[in-house]
Structure 1
Amino acid sequence: MVGRLLQLSRAARFRLWAVVTAARLRRLGGRLVLEVDEVPRLLGLPTVEIDGYPGTLTLRIGREVKLGSGLVIDLAHGKDGTIDLGDRVVFQNGVRLQPWGGAIRLGVAAQIRDRCELKSAGELVLGERAICGRNVTLHCEERLELGAKVGLAERVTVIDSDHGFDGSDTFFMDQPVRSTPVLVGANSFVSTNGVVLRGSVIGENSVVAAGAVVNGGTYPPQSILGGIPARVLKSLADGAHAAT
């Protein structure tokens, strides 16, 4: 009986949040499209931050999704955004989602741990059971994909774009943005403080060492990558082992 009452209360709180959010967006010329298979488990209701006049926010939520406290959905001026959460997705606390004209798509049972930031102007995709450790940053301008069962340890950064810098007096933010898709293959692991930059394609079942910087390029499956810039140190296919 108590469980049923809690479930009804949770559903009522979420419906009220949806009504209020939709009304806020409408007042600013935007729109909320909400598709919910099952009301998520809530440690707190999401905060929607709106910059200027938003477009359409499409929010899809699967079954048994958990939303931690302090979740922020940050909407950019004049841009549509999509957040697509598969079944059993888990957000811990303090996560920030920025669908700035793009989509953020999380596969079944993906986990986003405390204080992560996911920003997308393109297609940011996490596969089934992918895990982002605490304070991970994912920035997508074009396409950033983490395959199924990929693990990112604490403070990892993955980004598919950068600003050019030509040595002139032009402010770096005013210089052209360059983007090249990034792919981290299935069942790979990026260790603490690892950085994966635009144009990087890491084969499946690979490991990136702590503090390594993968500065573009294609790397074969079962690689152990390390260094700045990263290179293949060993191949797991040859019987090497790595600790994660």
Structure 2
Amino acid sequence: MILLKIYWRTKAAIKKLCFKIMFGKRFSVGKNTTFRKNFGLYLEKGASIKIGHDCFFNRGCSVNCLESVEIGNHTIFGENVKIYDQNHKFRDRTKLIREQGYSTGRIKIGNNCWICTNAVILKGVEIGDNSVIGAGCVIHHDIPANSVVKSNGGITIESLD
């Protein structure tokens, strides 16, 4: 297990260096933050990402940023967590969805949070310190500090009209 940890940390250090070279001052990451296999990062021109100290991103996590994403210290992410600070615009029926652009909103995730497997964090959300976001949850509004969020598995369907 020790050899695997050395391998993952070395690979993460190389990945952090590559991100720093590609994105410059728009990407900052704290000490001892590490990423596992298939961590993805997309940073649009003019956007910024700040990741604190001692964070951990498990396999398959991705951060997609057109505006701003900030992650506090000691926050951990389960497998396949997705973070999007943007959403496609889609209400104009005279245009294709892909031609309507994006709406954006800053994301801030506090210190000492646990974002569980397959959670999705959407634009404009602030998650308070010491919070747990349960597996499979889709977070589209603010979560106060010291909260546990669970999914009830339900869906809602609405008409575009």
* TM tier, smaller: 0.7 to 0.9
* Structure 2 residue aligned with 1:114: 37
In 2, the alpha carbon distance for the partners of 1:109 and 1:191 equals: 20
* Structure 1 residue aligned with 2:151: 227
Secondary structure, aligned partner of 1:145: strand
* Structure 1 residue aligned with 2:159: none
Q: Structure 2 matches for 1:29-48, cutoff 5 A?
A: none
1:129-163 CA distance string (max 9 Å, x none): 11111110101111101100111110000111111
Q: How many residues were matched structurally?
A: 144
In 2, the alpha carbon distance for the partners of 1:190 and 1:178 equals: 24
Does structure 1 residue 83 correspond to structure 2 residue 20?
yes
Q: Structure 2 matches for 1:62-101, cutoff 5 A?
A: 66-67=13-14, 83=20, 99=23
| Displaced runs of 4 or more, over 3 A | none
CA contact (8 A) 1:130 1:149 kept: yes
Q: Structure 2 matches for 1:131-146, cutoff 5 A?
A: 131-146=56-71
CA contact (8 A) 1:163 1:177 kept: yes
Structure number with the higher strand fraction is 1
Between the aligned residues of both structures, percent identity stands at 24
How far residue 227 of structure 1 moved from its aligned partner, in angstroms, is 2.3
CA contact (8 A) 1:102 1:120 kept: no
Equivalent residue for 2:78, pick from 137, 142, 153? 153
Give structure 1 stretches of 5+ with no counterpart. 1-40, 44-64, 74-81, 85-97, 231-244
Rg larger in structure: 1
Structure number with the higher helix fraction is 2
In 2, the alpha carbon distance for the partners of 1:191 and 1:181 equals: 21
Secondary structure, aligned partner of 2:20: strand
Equivalent residue for 1:214, pick from 116, 139, 142? 139
Does structure 1 residue 188 correspond to structure 2 residue 113?
yes
CA RMSD across the alignment = 2.9
In 2, the alpha carbon distance for the partners of 1:144 and 1:165 equals: 23
How far residue 105 of structure 1 moved from its aligned partner, in angstroms, is 1.3
Give structure 2 stretches of 5+ with no counterpart. 1-8, 155-161
In 2, the alpha carbon distance for the partners of 1:167 and 1:225 equals: 33
Greater length-normalized contact order (CA 8 Å, ≥ 6 residues apart) = 2
